[in-house]
């Protein structure tokens, strides 16, 4: 750990620290609720971009962390917004540009230099450390920690870096594009990048929330079949069928093993485990063909008993390089092949606690908060 700290990159210090006020949903005690407060955010350092957040998706990682944080923090990691200010070392973006924000990576370690930022040596520190790599925090004046996934997007204004910003066309609403930065990228990326699912291969998706439905849409694009959605929520299962699943199974009412044997004979090539439930993980393993792969997106820990050359892989962000993958998903959306808009329900920022509740109980698949108007004073 000490060694890692020493190796951390020095972030350029600002010559004179500017501070601006912004609104953010702050978690002050485990379990919440979140309360919108006025905080002081330091201006961007030379390698940072200041972004006015127009909208932010809510992802299950935000919700899971709410129960475990012991210090005041700003969560949110599916932000989309408009560039307000650009540090002098950041090239290729200017005020007024529209951005989607994604996960953070360092850009300097071996994996990052190899073009594989989900393997970044500092992935944990940068995305879950609630500070910059040098230990500083642009919200320290307010006694709150930010920089979650290099953004903390439950806020009207954030700092990001060139590593986690993606320029997007102004012709599409930012509130639509916001959730591409994590959950949808993860689901589609698992199928398209991590597993490289091919035409005619069988795939089962356990958990048809936002990540699972993105995976179903991607599997259809790749020509996979059968595509089997497994969930306990009939509304989601119906949507899975509309978005590309060839079969769905309600695992509370049906025998998954028997149904998969009916549908796919010897089993499927791939299973995605997105529920975080150890029993479901075992089920995902049990329906694989020999040599099949189970992709763990919500890792329940422990192990499914693997045999016959079956393997299990742990997936981070669908191995996506966001600056390439998110524009690709946008192009697929524009062609009508990736209708992720069907997963979204919009909420006003002040209704953030209700949006979280609706996501938790499965009423809403992908809540997106409207945080500030797209057309505003700049």
**Binding site residues, Zn ion, CB under 5 A:** 59, 61, 105-106, 109, 112, 120, 182
Instruction: Give me the least distance between CB of 250 and Zn ion, in Å please.
Output: 26
CB of 254 to Zn ion, least distance (A): 29
Tell which phi-psi region holds residue 235, choosing left (phi > 0), alpha (psi between -120 and 50) or beta.
alpha
DSSP at 192: I
Nearest partner of 56 among 317, 315, 296, 359, judged by Cα: 359
Alpha-carbon distance of 265 to 228, in angstroms, equals: 13
**Closer residue to Zn ion (CB): 73 or 256:** 73
Map residue 374 onto helix, strand or coil.
coil
Please report how close the Cβ of residue 143 comes to Zn ion at its closest, in angstroms: 25
Q: Is 39 exposed, middle or buried (0-12, 13-18, 19+ CB in 10 A)?
A: buried
Neighbours of 341 (CB within 10 A): 14
Q: Considering the complex, what minimum distance in angstroms separates the CB of residue 372 from Zn ion?
A: 21
Between residues 133 and 264, which has the closer beta carbon with respect to Zn ion?
Answer: 133
Q: Of the two residues 12 and 225, which places its CB atom closer to Zn ion in the complex?
A: 12
Encoded tokens for 173? 């609403």
Q: Which residue number, 183 or 244, has a Cβ lying nearer to Zn ion?
A: 183
Mind giving me the DSSP string for 212-239?
Answer: HHHHHHHHHHTT-SSEEEEES-HHHHHH
Give me the DSSP letters along 193-204.
Answer: IIS---TT--EE
Q: How far is the CB of 200 from Zn ion (least distance, A)?
A: 31
Looking only at the bridges linking them, the beta strands covering 165-167 and 98-101 are antiparallel
Pick 184 or 249: Cβ nearer Zn ion = 184
Nearer to Zn ion, 100 or 109 (CB): 109
Specify the residue, 61 or 164, whose C-beta has the smaller distance to Zn ion.
61
CB nearer to Zn ion: give 83 or 120. 120
Cα–Cα dist 286/227, whole Å? 16
Shortest approach of Zn ion to residue 189 CB, angstroms?
12
Q: Smallest distance, Å, CB 318 to Zn ion?
A: 11
Q: With respect to Zn ion, which residue has the nearer C-beta, 105 or 164? A: 105
Q: Rounded to the nearest whole angstrom, what is the least distance from the CB of residue 246 to Zn ion in the complex?
A: 27
Which residues, including other chains, have CB under 8 Å from residue 211's CB and lie 6 or more apart? 183, 184, 186, 187, 274, 297
Going by their DSSP bridges, the two strands 19-27 and 34-42 should be labelled as antiparallel
Report the alpha-carbon distance of residue 212 to residue 253 in Å, rounded.
20
To the nearest whole angstrom, how small is the minimum distance from the Cβ of residue 306 to Zn ion?
27
């Amino acid at each position: 750990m000490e060694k890692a700290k020493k190796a951390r990159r020095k972030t350029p210090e600002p010559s004179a620290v500017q501070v601006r006020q912004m609104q953010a949903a702050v978690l002050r005690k485990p379990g919440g609720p979140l309360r919108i407060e006025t905080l002081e955010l330091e201006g961007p350092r030379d390698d940072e971009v200041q972004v006015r957040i127009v909208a932010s998706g809510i992802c299950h990682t935000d919700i899971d962390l709410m129960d475990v944080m012991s210090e005041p923090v700003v969560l949110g990691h599916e932000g989309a917004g408009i560039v307000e200010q650009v540090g002098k070392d950041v090239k290729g973006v200017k005020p007024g540009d529209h951005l989607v924000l994604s996960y953070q990576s360092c850009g300097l370690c071996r994996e990052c230099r190899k073009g594989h930022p989900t393997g970044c040596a500092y992935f944990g520190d940068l995305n879950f450390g609630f500070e910059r790599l040098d230990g500083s925090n642009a919200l320290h004046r307010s006694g709150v920690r930010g920089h979650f996934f290099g953004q903390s997007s439950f806020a009207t204004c954030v700092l990001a870096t060139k590593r986690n910003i993606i320029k997007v066309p102004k012709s599409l609403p930012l509130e639509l594009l916001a959730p591409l930065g994590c959950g949808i990228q993860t689901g589609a990326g698992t199928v398209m990048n991590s597993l490289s699912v091919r035409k005619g291969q069988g795939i089962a998706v356990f958990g048809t929330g936002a990540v699972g439905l993105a995976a179903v849409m991607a599997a259809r694009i790749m020509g996979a079949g059968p595509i089997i959605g497994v969930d306990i929520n009939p509304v989601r299962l119906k949507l899975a069928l509309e978005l590309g699943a060839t079969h769905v199974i309600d695992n509370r009412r049906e025998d998954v093993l028997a149904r998969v044997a009916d549908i796919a004979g010897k089993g499927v090539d791939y299973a995605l485990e997105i529920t975080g439930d150890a029993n479901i993980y075992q089920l995902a393993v049990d329906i694989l063909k020999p040599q099949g792969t189970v992709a763990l997106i919500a890792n329940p820990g422990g192990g499914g008993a693997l045999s016959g050359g079956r393997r299990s892989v742990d997936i981070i962000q669908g191995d996506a390089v966001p600056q390439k993958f998110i524009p690709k998903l946008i192009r697929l959306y524009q062609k009508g092949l990736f209708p992720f808009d069907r997963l979204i329900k919009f909420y006003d920022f002040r209704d953030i606690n209700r949006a979280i509740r609706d996501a938790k109980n499965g009423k809403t698949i992908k809540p997106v908060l409207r945080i500030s108007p797209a057309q505003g004073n700049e």
